[in-house]
């Protein structure tokens, strides 16, 4: 590619014009797979108008994840993607030492060709849900769809809404939380608000006050790890059932977070679509315990 607009970091420029993630680009730069005018690039160097950039993306390595016949609740499916209503307790993608029983294992059984997407152990996964978060997740079925959906997420045009129950009366009823999120400085398994973290923004609306709880509709404009849980806990309203960030309860056995609305554009037609998922029984039961009769 040839740089058409300068004045920004090289890795940022490439991310905005290639469909590759910025972290992927930074790795390619580190491995000297990105050349600027024939010379190995640096992530922090400035993109200069007219310079020629050559990116070499290595061929994908075969994945070692086996298909498994795990039931899927498919809300929508076409040749390019699926929208799945994920149950709580199902991990999205395999990790070292945990390569079975995941959503990826299930979708590989349903759609074997997904194994060819980027040769990753996360074929087709363009965004994530925590293991104990239920609700809607979209899965690309080919490289073109993956690039399109990932691009929409980067541009923040994908609408992701969640239903969340927190402890306390959240005030004001409508608001936004803006605070950078990164790894916890002392506990690497947790996330935290840290000055060196990545930009994160969460918008919320109180749907209902129930006793000493607030039932919220939450939209995330960024997709940081544990974003909803970290942001709400940071302002003193932890998610009910979230033992990691201070919301322990006897109401239910997992965190009260449900991805209930998902809106985006179909990769080929660019037609806007929106899908909804109702609260699963365990979360409905928790609300029933605290709702005035």
Tell whether the model's pLDDT for residue 21 goes beyond 80: no
Residue 188 lies in a domain: yes
Straight-line distance from the first to the last Cα atom of the chain, in angstroms, rounded to the nearest whole number:
64
Same domain membership, residue 168 and residue 253:
yes
pLDDT above 90 covers a percentage of the chain that reads 62
Q: Is the distance from CB of 182 to CB of 191 less than 8 angstroms?
A: yes
Same domain membership, residue 120 and residue 163:
no
Tell whether the model's pLDDT for residue 117 goes beyond 90: no
For position 179, what pLDDT does the model report? Answer: 96
Look at residue 219 and give its three-state secondary structure: strand
For position 25, what pLDDT does the model report? Answer: 86
| Between residues 204 and 113, the one the model is more confident about | 204
Structure tokens at 43: 């992530």
Domain boundary among 120, 155, 190: 155
Same domain membership, residue 255 and residue 185:
yes
Question: For 190-210, what is the mean pLDDT?
Answer: 94
Look at residue 30 and give its three-state secondary structure: helix
Residue 5 lies in a domain: no
Alpha helix positions (H), the chain: 10-18, 22-30, 103-110, 143-154, 227-234, 281-290
For position 124, what pLDDT does the model report? Answer: 86
What average pLDDT does the structure give for the chain? Answer: 90
Which has the minimum average pLDDT: 42-46, 131-135, 160-164, 263-267? 42-46
Sign of the CA dihedral with 118 first, then 107, 97, and 128 last: positive
For position 7, what pLDDT does the model report? Answer: 83
Structure tokens at 171: 């005030």
Residue whose tokens read 């190995």: 40
Give the structural domain span for 216. Answer: 159-260+283-290
Q: Is the distance from CB of 51 to CB of 63 less than 8 angstroms?
A: no
Given pLDDT bands bounded at 50, 70 and 90, which one contains residue 196?
A: confident
Same domain membership, residue 65 and residue 41:
no
Same domain membership, residue 21 and residue 113:
no
What does pTM read for this prediction?
A: 0.78
Residue 182 lies in a domain: yes
Tell whether the model's pLDDT for residue 238 goes beyond 90: yes
Residue 4 lies in a domain: no
Structure tokens at 94: 């395999």
Domain boundary among 131, 155, 179: 155
pLDDT above 70 covers a percentage of the chain that reads 95
Question: For 265-277, what is the mean pLDDT?
Answer: 96
Same domain membership, residue 242 and residue 163:
yes
Same domain membership, residue 164 and residue 252:
yes
Chain-centre distance of CA 7, in angstroms?
29
Residue 249 lies in a domain: yes
For position 85, what pLDDT does the model report? Answer: 98
Tell whether the model's pLDDT for residue 59 goes beyond 70: no
Domain boundary among 93, 121, 155: 155
Same domain membership, residue 175 and residue 148:
no
Question: Pairing mode, if any, of strands 257-265 and 159-167?
Answer: antiparallel
Looking at the structure of the chain, the number of domains it has is 3
Residue 1 lies in a domain: no
For position 269, what pLDDT does the model report? Answer: 94
Same domain membership, residue 145 and residue 88:
yes
Q: Say which CATH number the domain at 246 has.
A: 3.30.2350.10
Query: With b meaning 16 or more CB within 10 Å and e meaning fewer, what string describes 106-118?
Result: bbbebbeebbebb
Same domain membership, residue 180 and residue 121:
no
Alpha-carbon separation of residue 260 from 38, 76, 198, 218 (angstroms): 48, 14, 25, 10
Spell out the SS3 assignment of 193-247: ECCCCECCEEEEEEEEEECCEEEEEEEECCCCCCHHHHHHHHCCCCECCCCCCCC
| String of DSSP letters for 70-82 | ----EEEE-SSEE
Same domain membership, residue 165 and residue 201:
yes
Chain-centre distance of CA 97, in angstroms?
22
For position 115, what pLDDT does the model report? Answer: 61
Tell whether the model's pLDDT for residue 61 goes beyond 60: no
- Round to whole Å and give the CA distance between 205 and 272: 24
Given pLDDT bands bounded at 50, 70 and 90, which one contains residue 118?
A: low
- Round to whole Å and give the CA distance between 80 and 102: 21
- What does the DSSP 8-state code read for residue 89? T
Q: Say which CATH number the domain at 31 has.
A: 3.10.290.10
Catalytic sites, residue numbers: 130
- Round to whole Å and give the CA distance between 145 and 29: 25
Question: For 100-116, what is the mean pLDDT?
Answer: 86
Same domain membership, residue 165 and residue 249:
yes
For position 31, what pLDDT does the model report? Answer: 86
Residue whose tokens read 């322990």: 248
């Amino acid at each position: 590619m040839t740089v058409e607009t300068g004045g920004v970091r090289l890795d940022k420029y490439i991310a905005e014009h290639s469909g590759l993630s910025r972290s992927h680009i930074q790795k390619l730069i580190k491995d000297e797979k990105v050349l600027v005018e024939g010379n190995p690039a640096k992530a922090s160097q400035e993109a200069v108008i007219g310079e020629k950039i050559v990116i070499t993306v290595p061929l994908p390595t075969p994945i070692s994840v086996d298909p498994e016949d795990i039931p899927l609740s498919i809300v929508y499916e076409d040749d390019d993607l699926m929208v799945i209503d994920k149950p709580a307790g199902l991990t999205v993608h395999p990790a070292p030492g945990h390569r079975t029983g995941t959503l990826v294992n299930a979708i590989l059984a349903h759609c074997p060709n997904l194994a060819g997407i980027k040769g990753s152990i996360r074929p087709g996964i363009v965004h994530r849900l925590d293991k104990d978060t239920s609700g809607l997740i979209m899965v690309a079925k080919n490289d073109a769809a993956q690039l399109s959906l990932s691009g929409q997420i980067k541009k923040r045009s994908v609408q992701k809404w969640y239903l969340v129950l927190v402890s306390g009366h959240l005030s004001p009823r409508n608001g936004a939380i803006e605070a950078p999120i990164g790894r916890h400085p002392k506990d690497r398994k947790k996330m935290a608000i840290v000055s060196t973290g990545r930009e994160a923004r969460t918008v919320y609306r109180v749907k209902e006050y129930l006793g000493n709880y607030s039932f919220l509709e939450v939209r995330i404009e960024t997709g940081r790890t544990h974003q909803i849980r970290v942001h709400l806990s940071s302002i003193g309203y932890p998610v009910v059932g979230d033992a990691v960030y201070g919301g322990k309860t006897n109401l239910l056995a997992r965190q009260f977070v449900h991805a209930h609305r998902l809106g985006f554009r179909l990769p080929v037609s660019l037609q806007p679509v929106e899908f909804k998922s109702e609260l699963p029984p365990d979360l409905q039961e928790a609300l029933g315990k605290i709702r005035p009769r």
